[in-house]
Amino acid sequence: MADIVVILTVILSAAVAMILPVFFSRGTPSYAEIVCDEGSFKLALDKDASRSFVSGECHVTVIIESGAVSVVSDCKQGFCMQKKISASGESIICAPARMIITIIGSDSGKEGEPEYVVAG
Amino acid sequence: MWSQDKIKSLTIRSLFLSAALILSWLEAILPIPLPIPGFKLGIANIVVLSSIVIFGKRTAVSILAGKILISALLYGSVTSFAFSLAGGILSFLISIVLIEKVPRLSLLGVSVAASAAHVAGQIAVSVAIFGIGSLSMLGWLLLLSVPSGIFTGIIAHTICNHSYFSKFVKAHGDKS
C-alpha cells in the first residue's frame, strides 16, 4: 500500500509538472532562442530557415520549418534530433553540445524583434 | 593481520563498487532511445540501494562516491559529473530517510522515490547550467522514473533477499 502511495505521488507530480507550463506559456510562439558555445541567438519562427553551430563536441543545425523547431546533430547520442518543438516555453536541450533552444512567446516580456544577436 | 572475514567483507564491497561502475558504463554506452536528453534507467542504483540494505549507509555512501568519481574520471565529463553528483546525493538521501523512517515501504517504493529524486537533482543542475527551460523535461522524466524505479527496485529486492546476502547482512552489515 505504501509503495502505491509513493508511485501515485510521483505520477501526480509528473502530471503537475507537465500541465503547469501550459498555464504559464506566454503568448503565441514568436522566436527560438538558442544558447550555445558560440553565443546567444534568436531565430524568427514565421519563416523557414536553418542555421549551423559548432558547440561543445558537436556540429548542430537548427531548422525552423512551419513554425516548428528541430535539430540535426552529429553528436553520438542524438537525443535532441528526436524532438520537435513549437509551443512557447518548450525546449530542446543538447547536453553534449552544451546547447539549449527555447521557444519564446510574444508576451514573454523580452523586448525587440527577433534577430541574430551574438552575446558570447 | 586481517582476518579472513574482514578480507571477505572487503572483497564483496569491492565487487559491489565494480558492479556499480560496470552498470553505469553500460548506461553511458547504451543510451535509452528516448527523445529526452540524458535520461537513464539508473540501473547502477540497484547496487547502491542493495548496499544500503546489505552493508549499511556508511559503506553504501562510499560505494556511491566511488561510482560517481571513478565513472566521471573514466568515461564522463564535468557536466556528467555534476548531473551524477546531484542526482546521486539526492536519491541516496531519500533512500536512507525512507528505509529508516518508513519501514512499511518495500524496496520497490524506495527505488521509485529514489529514481524521482535522482531526476529532480539532475533537473536542478540542468536549470543551473542551461536555464529555466530545462524544467520542460521534468514531467516526462518524473513519469519515466516510475517504471525505471520499479525495475531497479525489483532487482535490488531480489538481490537483498538472496540467501547469501541475507546471511551477510546478519554477519557483516555495519547498519551505521
Residue A113 pLDDT: 46
With contacts defined as CB-CB under 8 Å, which chain B residues touch A93?
Answer: 37-38, 126, 130, 133-134, 137
How close A15 gets to chain B, by Cα (Å)?
6
Residue B170 pLDDT: 53
Q: Which residue of A has its CA nearest to B142?
A: A14
Which residue is associated with the grid cell 523557414? A48
- Element holding A70 (H helix, E strand): strand A68-73
For residue range B116-160, what is the model confidence (pLDDT) as tens digits?
Answer: 999 999 888 888 877 776 777 788 889 989 999 999 999 999 988
| pTM for the full predicted model | 0.74
Phi, psi of B175 (to 5 degrees): 40, 40
**Cβ–Cβ contact B146 with A under 8 A:** yes
Which residue is associated with the grid cell 544558447? A35
Give the angle B131-B136-B139 at the CA atoms, nearest 5°: 135
Higher pLDDT, B28 or A112: B28
Cβ-in-10-Å burial (0-12, 13-18, 19+) of B6 comes to exposed
Distance of CA B174 to the CA centre of its chain: 19
pLDDT category at B171 given cuts 50, 70, 90 is: low
Q: DSSP secondary-structure letter at A87?
A: S
- For A79, the closest of B36, B112, B134 (CB atoms) is B36
Pairing verdict, β A99-105 and A91-94: antiparallel
For residue range A43-95, what is the model confidence (pLDDT) as tens digits?
Answer: 888 888 888 888 777 888 899 988 889 888 887 666 666 678 888 877 787 77
Top residue of A7, A82, A98 to mutate, by most chain B CBs within 10 Å, is A7
The complex's ipTM works out to 0.81
Contact B112 A93 (CB under 8 A): no
Closest by Cα among B45, B38, B36, B39 to B68: B45
For residue range A62-76, what is the model confidence (pLDDT) as tens digits?
Answer: 999 888 898 888 876
With contacts defined as CB-CB under 8 Å, which chain A residues touch B150?
Answer: 7
Residues B87-101 have a mean pLDDT of 92
